[in-house]
Amino acid sequence: MPKLALLQLPASADRAENISRTEAAIREAAANGAQIVCTQELFTTLYFCREQDPEHFDLADELPGDITEHHCALAKELGIVIVASGFERRAPGLYHNTAWVVDADGSFLGLYRKMHIPQDPGFEEKFFFTPGDIGYKAWDTAFGKIGVLICWDQWYPEAARLTALQGAQILIYPTAIGWLPEEKPQLGEAQHCAWETVQRGHAVANSCYVAAINRVGTEGDTEFWGQSFVANHYGQVVARGSISDQQIIYADCDLDAIDEHRRMWPFFRDRRIDSYSNILKRWDD
Residues tagged active-site: 41, 114, 151
Q: If you write DSSP's letter for every residue of 135-186 in order, what string do you get?
A: ---EEEETTEEEEE--GGGGG-HHHHHHHHTTT-SEEEEE---EE-TTTHHH
The shares of helix, strand and coil residues in the chain, as percent rounded to the nearest 5, are 35, 30, 40
Element (H, E) at 235: none
Computed from CA positions of residues 229, 231, 237, 238, in that sequence, does the dihedral angle turn out positive or negative?
negative
Asked if 163 and 138 touch (Cβ cutoff 8 Å), the reply is yes
Beta bridge partners, 249, equal: 6
Q: Which residues contact 46 (CB under 8 A, 6 or more apart)?
A: 11, 12, 13, 219
Asked if 114 and 98 touch (Cβ cutoff 8 Å), the reply is yes
What is the DSSP pairing of strand 229-231 with strand 209-213? antiparallel
